């Protein structure tokens, strides 16, 4: 079966939507799929109910600025303050699409693996205790490369 | 008569395929499911995915914009 390695760098609703759709679509067909969350992508996998006391000022700023999980994401274009995000969420609901948090659960159900890059965690002071249960492992770029080098398809979103 | 029915009318791509796959996963080998829907792309998407996955597509039909796909779980 083919293998897909997907780097999730972005932390916006529309990009997460595309990432989970492609990942689930491939995994559902039996592909070996891994998502490597890095930088702004870490906001997607934060669990809003699992906050951790931050120590430094910088950590506190990142904590406040990053989205608190998949239901807290905003769209990347047509933002119009908050209106664009609200409209997109309403439209997704009207078209009976799943919210991003549910898409994440579904991706897991189809067998997608969730890897998280350790570097942005260090830079932004994010702890593994803050992530949703879907996360399989915290790893280095080396580990990602090991997985990605034999993937048939590598995507960067 | 099929063993199960899944109504995907009103759902758009990729929901019909994903819902079909989730139901198939829970079914026993050899059982059949009838999937009905009205989103044009999903008809070919489901049949093609089933072929690739080695599932048996027993019936594909369409009438008045509503398609019906019967699948037998083979793996």
Least confident of A4-8, B1-5, B67-71: B1-5
Q: In this predicted structure, what is the pLDDT of residue B21?
A: 94
Q: What is the pLDDT of residue A134?
A: 97
Instruction: Report how far residue A19's alpha carbon sits from residue A78's, in angstroms, rounded to the nearest whole number.
Output: 19
pLDDT of residue A51: 86
Query: Is A96–B17 a contact, with Cβ atoms under 8 angstroms apart?
Result: no
What is the Cα–Cα distance from A86 to A108, expressed in whole angstroms?
A: 26
Q: Find all residues with CB under 8 Å of A58, minimum gap 6, and list them.
A: A125
Instruction: Mark yes or no for CB contact A97/B21 under 8 Å.
Output: no
**pLDDT bracket for residue B29 (50, 70, 90):** very high
Instruction: Report the pLDDT value the prediction gives residue A49, as an integer from 0 to 100.
Output: 95
**Cross-strand partners of B6:** B35
Interacting residues of B71 by C-beta distance below 8 A, sequence separation 6+:
B20, B24, B32, B33, B35, B50, B55, B56, B57, B58
Nearest beta carbon to residue A96 from set B10, B52, B53: B10
Query: Which domain, by its residues, includes B30?
Result: 4-72
What CATH code is assigned to A3-156? 3.40.1260.10
In chain A, where the domains are located: 3-156
ipTM of the complex: 0.86
Question: What is the total count of domains within chain B?
Answer: 1
- pTM for this structure? 0.93
Chunked into runs of 10 residues, chain A (157 residues) has average pLDDT values of: 97 97 94 98 96 92 94 92 93 94 97 97 95 97 96 98
Q: Do A28 and B52 touch (CB under 8 A)?
A: no
């Amino acid at each position: 079966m083919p293998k897909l390695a997907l780097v999730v760098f972005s932390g916006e609703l529309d990009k997460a939507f595309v990432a989970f759709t492609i990942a689930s679509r491939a995994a559902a067909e039996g592909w070996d799929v891994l998502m490597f969350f890095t930088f702004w992508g870490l906001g997607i996998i934060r669990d809003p109910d699992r906050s951790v006391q931050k120590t430094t000022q910088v950590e506190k700023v990142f904590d406040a600025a990053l989205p608190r999980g998949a239901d807290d994401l905003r769209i990347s274009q047509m933002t119009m303050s908050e209106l664009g995000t609200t409209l997109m969420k309403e439209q997704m609901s009207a078209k009976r699409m799943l919210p991003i948090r549910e898409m994440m659960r579904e991706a897991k159900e189809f067998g997608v693996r969730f890897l998280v890059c350790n570097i942005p965690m260090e830079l932004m002071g994010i702890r593994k205790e803050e992530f949703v249960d879907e996360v399989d492992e915290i790893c280095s770029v080396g580990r990602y490369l090991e997985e990605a080098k034999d993937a048939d398809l590598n995507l960067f979103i | 008569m099929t063993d199960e029915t899944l109504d995907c009318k009103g759902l758009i791509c990729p929901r019909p395929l994903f819902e079909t796959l989730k139901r198939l996963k829970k079914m026993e080998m050899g059982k059949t499911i009838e999937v009905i829907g009205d989103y044009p792309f999903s008809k070919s998407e489901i049949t093609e995915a089933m072929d690739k996955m080695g599932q048996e597509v027993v019936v594909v039909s369409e009438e008045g914009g509503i398609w019906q796909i019967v699948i037998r779980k083979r793996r």
